[in-house]
Structure 1
Amino acid sequence: MPRAHCKKTPGRHRKPNSLSLAWRTTGGVVVGAAVLGTAAATANASVLPFGSTPVSSAAADLAPGLTARGAPSGRTSGRTSGPASGKAPKPTASKAPAAKRDARPEQPRAKTSEKAAAKSRPTAAQAIRLARSQVGIEEDGGGETKFQEWYMTTSRARETLARDGGSLDGYGDANWCDMFVSWVGEQIGFSEQVGSDAWTVAHARWFQEHGRWGTEPRPGAIVFFAWDGGESVDDIEHVGMVVEKVDDGTIETVEGNADNAVRVKERSTDVVVGYGYPDYRS
């Protein structure tokens, strides 16, 4: 009959061979060492100061050259946060987004003050138009006009009074041809070019001193007369504004104090001493 399997007798063991004995002995030592290491780590953790980081018992039990997962220490088990040398990675400068190009056309540059001043200058036609608009104004019964009254209120009147003598009230009934021309210059904002005076001789000299004096009639020019045909500035007796050149021997003018009023006249160039030229805008 077949041999029956025998039951293990309680309390009895097979005789161990040399290999199993060595394993049991070594394993016991390793297990014992692990238990003792754990106990020691626990004891150390209990006496560490507050805030200290305890050493991991598992890390203390690892064999040299092994990582926590058993991989060799020379290899990494996952992605690292920096290079193997341990140096912090250099920060990478992020590029700023390129500025969007403005699609609007470039604005024109501001005009220079010189160009702005040139553009603001009046034209000769504007001066003539204003002068002609006063035609027909006459002296009142006392020989006075608005042009004399205006001149008496200006600072220039006090300057010419200091130069020529007399009294301020004396301008009230004085010859006013030059005051009329000065008024036109002031009304168009061009006194620095037309000049301002009550004495025709001094006014002509002012044009000479500024290099704007000549003998050619031009529209808007200030014309100075000497009735006896004199050619010297000292001979000047009257002043007006040129409207146009009629022909080689005749000019048309607008004049104040011509027959005690503002009038348009045709004059022979034989009685003209010279012309002053305001720098009008062309």
Structure 2
Amino acid sequence: MATNRLTPKSRNLAHVLLGASILVGAGTLAAPAALAEAPGQSPLSAPPAEVVKTAKSPLELQAERLPKVTAAKVLDIAASQIGVSENAQGGGTKFQSWYVSSPRAQETVARDGGNPQAYANASWCAMFVSWVGDQAGIRPTVGWDAYTVTYAQWFKNNGHWGTVAKPGAVVFYDWQGGKSIDGIDHVGFVKKDNGDGTISTIEGNTGNGKVEARVRPTSQVVGYGYPVYSG
């Protein structure tokens, strides 16, 4: 009976391929298949530049089927809503109404409990960001959720999470200055990095119950989610 055994060369190659795997959600996106060994070239040698390919993330693959939208366009849509305010019950916004009627409300209720109508008066910062992405036609790469923690985790699971403030990035805050996704309190859009330890943003459901432009200290930022933009 034949034995499946790695030779020293093939064992090294296996280690390289396993180390190059990319974590995506609960699974992995495997590295590209190994190239055939050319004469005089070890398996660990770099292949010619013209055959090196970069694996695309799930969000980048989604973006190929969506309209080409820039970060500036998304920020324009967000800015057009500045001044929109909630009612005395904390509801009454178009963002909440849209979310209640969306299929995502049913999905998040199944995950978190409650009923879809409860979102009509719930905190709506994440619903605002989701609505803007939908209006821009690129919701699959902006995401949609009503809960900031799972929203941030979605970006991280899809490999679009980081610590650099880019225009159009989705910014997640912890008012206590923590850096754990579990501690996230609020979310908005980055307009620009001011280069002085602050960022300019556009956010829904601010302390005034409105969509507003704000300047926030980066010390309160947990991280950034990166939608896929064209340019």
Is TM more than 0.5 here?
Answer: yes
Task: Say whether residues 1:121 and 2:71 are aligned partners.
Answer: no
Q: Any idea what the Cα deviations from partners look like across 1:196-250, whole Å, max 9, x if unmatched?
A: 0000000000000100000000000000000000100001000000001111411
Q: Find the partner of 2:122 among 174, 184, 190.
A: 174
Distance 1:199 1:275 in 2: 15
- Give 1:1-282 correspondences, 5 Å limit: 117=64, 120-144=67-91, 145-258=93-206, 259-282=208-231
Q: Distance in 2 between the 1:175 and 1:222 partners?
A: 17
Count of equivalent residues: 168
Q: Which has the higher contact order (CA 8 A, sep 6+)?
A: 2
User: Could you say what secondary structure the match of 1:182 adopts?
Assistant: helix
- Give the structure with the larger strand fraction: 2
DSSP-derived class of the 1:247 partner: coil
Match of 1:198, SS state, is coil
User: What displacement does 1:118 show?
Assistant: 7.4
SS at match of 2:219: helix
Contact 1:118 1:281 in 2 (8 A): no
CA apart distance, 1:119: 8.4
Cα distance in 2 for partners of 1:250, 1:227 equals: 14
C-alpha deviation, 1:141, in angstroms:
2.7
Distance 1:118 1:146, change over 3 A: closer
Looking at structure 2, the residues matched to 235 and 188 of structure 1 have their Cα atoms a distance apart, in angstroms, of 29
In 1, are the aligned partners of 2:89 and 2:121 still within 8 Å (CA)? yes
Q: Which ranges of structure 2 fall in alignment gaps of 5 or more residues? A: 1-60
Q: In structure 1, list runs of 5 or more residues that go unmatched.
A: 1-113
Q: Is the 8 A contact 1:119 1:281 kept in 2?
A: no
- 2:194 aligned counterpart, secondary structure: strand
Check conservation: 1:217, 1:245, Cα contact below 8 A.
Answer: yes
Query: Equivalent residue of 2:166, what SS?
Result: coil
Identical aligned residues as a percent: 51
Query: What is the CA–CA distance in structure 1 between the aligned matches of 2:67 and 2:183, rounded to whole Å?
Result: 35
Larger radius of gyration: 1
1:142 Cα deviation after fit: 2.6
Report the 3-state secondary structure (helix = DSSP H, G, I; strand = E; otherwise coil) of the residue aligned with 2:133. Answer: helix
Letter in structure 1 aligned against 2:80: S
What is the RMSD computed on CA atoms of the aligned residues? 1.5
